[in-house]
Amino acid sequence: MKFSFSPAAALLCLALSFTGCAQAADTHEAAFSKPEALIITDVQKRAFQLGSNLLSKQHYRGNSLRQISAGVFDNYLDTLDFNRIYFLKSDIEELSVHRSTLAQTVRKADLSPAVQIFERYRERASALNAWILQRLNQPFDLDGTATVHIPNNLRLGSSHLPWRETLEEVHAYQEARLTDTLIRLRMGGRSQEEAIKKLISRYEMQQKSLNQMTVEDVFDMYMNNIALRFDPHSSYLSPRSTEDFDINMSLSLEGIGATLSYEDGKITVRELVAGGPAFKSGKLRINDRIIGVAQDKDGEMQPVIGMRLDKAVRLIRGKKGTIVRLLIEPASPNMPETEIALERDTIKLEDQAAQGYVESVEANGLTRKIGVIRLPSFYMDFEGARKGKENYRSTSNDLSNIIKNMKAQQIDGMILDLRGNGGGSLYEAVRTVGLFIDEGPVVMVSDVENSAETQHDSDKGALYEGPLAVMVDHGSASASEIFAAAIQDYRRGIVVGSNSFGKGTVQTVIALNRFVSSKVPPLGEMKITIAMFHRITGESTQHKGVVPDIALPTSADIEKVGERSLPYALPLKSIKAADYQSSDEVTPETVSALQRQHEQRMHSKPALLRYQEYINREIAEKERNEWSLNLAQREQQYQDWKSYVENYAGIQTQEMPALQSDQKRRKDIEKRNAVIDSEADKEYFVPDAGLFETLYILFDFIEHAHGGQVLDKAA
């Protein structure tokens, strides 16, 4: 780590003791008002006992509280101070008496360790915030040679660093972080004075939020850290969070359509819902951080750094048609902070529905018609199905209609694009597999006792029997992995793309009040992982994901974005294979031949060579973790990258054949750009090189596996 700071700042670092920093808050009295005392309630003690014991007895992992105690202690520290900027090494040594006491504290319903650790965190954080507000009144050097180390993946970065030993070390690192944030603000178009004013307001609000944290906040945080130690998909749902969960499950939520998590004290984008305002905007991306929220077009921006996740979500959520403005800190330190405005909307089933296109592919003097179906999720109109509505909207029903239409157009092959498909209805995934196979098992589910249940496609015959390719990437998870795995295991089609996410677990929600009398107030619920999905081969998609037959270039490192990157993810487990009969449509010899032809194109076609170079450049940008604290250098780096992307998009658009499948995306970008005044903020349309190459892979597959014959053309 390298850093530099002004002499004035150095003197301040040395002069301010821990107590002195707290006293420095006098100039920001409103922000540093005394917080309320944290007094644990009997209801929270009861929920602590019931929830913790429920996890240890019913979770798929089967660990005892004694086994996870040290992990819970470390998780809690990481949640409070992931970047190692508040606690000192001496604090950790003092607090480590709680490292092995979880089982005893659960038995006694004693939550005092959680409170004690949080109080030390709040004390340290308040002192550092006071120091920061003093430091912001001193000059910053944005023309020097200093650098700062920023981990390129939050989950895999700072938590492995040692705790700092002195306040001087803490202040020095915070000096570098402040300078980096100041540079981001300057790159976003603010003057030095405006940027400093913004930072002062941000840290005052952060301190105010810190002081307003309640015993409920601390309890929820601690309970979720206990659940996290079992696996990343288990959690505690407070009575209020339970209400939010029910809203999400009913699909009636009005908001921006994004799944958010709390990392490094910031609200982080984990998933974008297909068809939602955030997805449609094109301006919010996975791993971006939301650091401020404002209402309507002229509402004051409220910082949400350090704010409890559910509170921040309530600021972001709102009625359909209203505007929410978000201050975004992009995942890449090379990008400036930016403000985006989104119109809240209800996520409609139609926005997540399958869309079909027919593409023409020419090679070797032949032209093939290939159907492409984009499937953002596995959806189902549960209300329509329950009422017995004829032709209710669902993935399998919609795909049936699209396939029939494509067959009427005499297609030669079909691509099912599951990139970014985060899952959805297991029932619909099984039914959709049934459109492409005769009949048989599709997926197995094992419980903690290793007993397995098999989900079958029981409808004889397949609606489509022709050449098939399935596209997956790191965003393909859960139900989409079940579909791709079944197609691969039956050798029914080829899987193309990059390694899928690797979520192969099943959760259930258990109300804690079911274990107590009806007179007890609401205790909340536990979401617990109770089972694992398995392919019909007996292997699981958990952790490993679905490995494509033919790999396409990707900038996503599955070790950093997939299930295996999540703390305490369950390991892959195998069970006995199901009784099934695979076809001979996709043989190892065919895959080898397709791989050779794919590699030949990747090394010879200009559009694909540019595509690979673009991916390599994107990987280099993501992997960079040492950043200059020189404003001019950072601005030049940003402009260089922006110019490169613009040139790449322009050349690819000119030289790659226009695909029908790209037209909707192109029109969406044009609509968004039409209401943006600044040319610098406008998006570039980039042709889908991955789909372009997959069309040729399927073209080759038709030639190799089927001798060039056109199959399954009857309507």
Q: What is the CATH number of the domain that holds 309?
A: 2.30.42.10
Residue 439: CATH number of its domain: 3.90.226.10
**Do 143 and 183 contact (CB within 8 A), yes or no?**
no
Is 503 one of the catalytic residues?
yes
Q: Please indicate, yes or no, whether residues 211 and 258 belong to a single structural domain of this protein.
A: no
Domain of 64, in residue numbers: 27-230
Q: What is the pLDDT of residue 9?
A: 32
Q: Please indicate, yes or no, whether residues 396 and 337 belong to a single structural domain of this protein.
A: no
Whether 611 is in a domain gets the answer yes
Q: Please indicate, yes or no, whether residues 471 and 576 belong to a single structural domain of this protein.
A: yes
Quick one: what percent of the chain has pLDDT higher than 70? Answer: 89
Identify the sign of the CA torsion 268, 274, 278, 282: positive
Whether 597 is in a domain gets the answer no
Give dist(CA 477, CA 259) in Å, integer: 14
Whether 106 is in a domain gets the answer yes
pLDDT at residue 158 is higher than 90 = no
Is 549 one of the catalytic residues?
no
Q: Please indicate, yes or no, whether residues 187 and 218 belong to a single structural domain of this protein.
A: yes
Token readout for 242 is: 């339970």
Q: Which residue of the set 457, 473, 489, 688 is catalytic?
A: 489
> 3-state SS of 75-136?
HHHHHHCCCCCCCCHHHHHHHHHHCCCHHHHHHHCCCHHHHHHHHHHHHHHHHHHHHHHHHC
Q: What is the pLDDT of residue 152?
A: 65
Whether 590 is in a domain gets the answer no
Token readout for 632 is: 């001019």
Q: Please indicate, yes or no, whether residues 282 and 364 belong to a single structural domain of this protein.
A: no
CB atoms within 10 A of CB 238: 21
Whether 622 is in a domain gets the answer yes
Question: Of 683, 659, 653, whose CA–CA distance to 671 is shortest?
Answer: 683
Give dist(CA 411, CA 698) in Å, integer: 12
Q: Please indicate, yes or no, whether residues 161 and 279 belong to a single structural domain of this protein.
A: no
Q: What is the pLDDT of residue 351?
A: 67
Q: Please indicate, yes or no, whether residues 453 and 318 belong to a single structural domain of this protein.
A: no
| Partners of 326 in the β-ladder | 293, 340
pTM of the model: 0.87
Whether 9 is in a domain gets the answer no
Give dist(CA 109, CA 102) in Å, integer: 10
**DSSP state at residue 514:** G
Q: Please indicate, yes or no, whether residues 491 and 545 belong to a single structural domain of this protein.
A: yes
Q: Looking at 135-149, 317-331, 489-503, 699-713, which range is the least confident one?
A: 699-713
Q: Looking at 24-33, 365-374, 653-662, which range is the least confident one?
A: 24-33
Q: Please indicate, yes or no, whether residues 174 and 41 belong to a single structural domain of this protein.
A: yes
**Do 266 and 155 contact (CB within 8 A), yes or no?**
no
What is the average pLDDT across 273-283? 78
Q: Which residue of the set 377, 478, 480, 628 is catalytic?
A: 478
Q: Which residue of the set 198, 266, 407, 503 is catalytic?
A: 503
Q: Please indicate, yes or no, whether residues 123 and 257 belong to a single structural domain of this protein.
A: no
Q: Please indicate, yes or no, whether residues 514 and 569 belong to a single structural domain of this protein.
A: yes
Is 264 one of the catalytic residues?
no
Whether 19 is in a domain gets the answer no
Token readout for 113 is: 């360790």
Q: What is the pLDDT of residue 602?
A: 97
Domain count within the chain: 4
| Partners of 534 in the β-ladder | 444
Q: Please indicate, yes or no, whether residues 344 and 416 belong to a single structural domain of this protein.
A: no
Give dist(CA 131, CA 113) in Å, integer: 27
Quick one: what percent of the chain has pLDDT higher than 90? Answer: 60
Whether 514 is in a domain gets the answer yes
- The CA–CA distances, whole Å, from 432 to 411, 459, 536 equal 19, 11, 16
Give dist(CA 715, CA 697) in Å, integer: 25
